[in-house]
Amino acid sequence: GQNIDQPTEMTATEGAIVQINCTYQTSGFNGLFWYQQHAGEAPTFLSYNVLDGLEEKGRFSSFLSRSKGYSYLLLKELQMKDSASYLCAVMDSNYQLIWGAGTKLIIKP
Amino acid sequence: NAGVTQTPKFRVLKTGQSMTLLCAQDMNHEYMYWYRQDPGMGLRLIHYSVGEGTTAKGEVPDGYNVSRLKKQNFLLGLESAAPSQTSVYFCASSSGTGFQPQHFGDGTRLSIL
């Protein structure tokens, strides 16, 4: 079967750095997406990785290792507004997204 | 600048009732999707469409039907609602597959009593 694993919840301090991990086992791989979802709102696109390595976009970076079935999202200089759920999703061989359950990130002052 | 619009935003139904959820996008996207989101689970694909007049089943299609008569609209129907269909429903659209991110509507919160 297909499976995406990510921690259920993480807590970090304002101004700090946090890394959210995602491991996957899917039938085929056509890229990995990270989305942010604030409580009661729609998911919004953050990043896309299809090749191994690090993609940096401002305070957010995403890393991919296809051989290990592993990705992480790195958030720097955390702000209170970063409190949200972070969803990892893999596009499989049928070009459909398989979603993880999400990691709820709590930022404390 | 609307993007993806879902109506209604909230609805309460009784078991056995029917209803239709409407999704409209103004980005001229070919692909549209219906997901459900339940606590502790990832988004699950119900049905999707790769263009006007086409529909296909996703991971959890039972109990739902869809139609894509116009490119900008994607309708999700529940013929006979069941309590197990209580969920938050999200519609999404994209211009293609691969690197094309999906853009989501604000969701419909549906409760079946």
- Which residue of chain B comes nearest to A90, CA vs CA? B98
Given a cut of 80, whether residue B2 has pLDDT beyond it is no
pLDDT class of B97 with cuts at 50, 70, 90: confident
B40 touches chain A (CB under 8 A): yes
Q: How far apart are CA A49 and CA A40, in angstroms?
A: 26
What distance in Å separates residue A32's CA from the closest CA in chain B? 9
Size of interface A-B (CB pairs under 8 A): 50
- Which residue of chain A comes nearest to B36, CA vs CA? A99
Nearest to A103 by CA among B45, B92, B42: B42
What is the distance of C-alpha A23 from the center of its chain?
A: 10
* pLDDT of A8: 97
| Pick from B41, B102, B104: CB nearest A101 | B41
Ramachandran class of B27: left when φ > 0, alpha when ψ lies in -120 to 50, beta otherwise: alpha
Q: How far apart are CA A57 and CA A108, in angstroms?
A: 23
The per-residue pLDDT for range A11-55, each reduced to its tens digit, is 999 999 999 999 999 989 999 999 999 999 999 999 999 999 999
A30: helix, coil or strand? coil
Interface with B, mutate which of A99, A103, A104 (most B CBs under 10 A): A99
Q: What is the mean pLDDT of chain A?
A: 96
Contact A100 B42 (CB under 8 A): yes
Contact A89 B42 (CB under 8 A): yes
What distance in Å separates residue A102's CA from the closest CA in chain B? 7
A4 touches chain B (CB under 8 A): yes
The per-residue pLDDT for range B10-69, each reduced to its tens digit, is 999 999 999 999 999 999 999 999 999 999 899 999 999 999 999 999 999 999 999 999
- What contacts A6, CB < 8 A, 6 or more positions away? A20, A21, A22, A23, A86, A88, A100, A101, A102, A103
What distance in Å separates residue B109's CA from the closest CA in chain A? 10
A96 touches chain B (CB under 8 A): yes
What is the distance of C-alpha B82 from the center of its chain?
A: 17
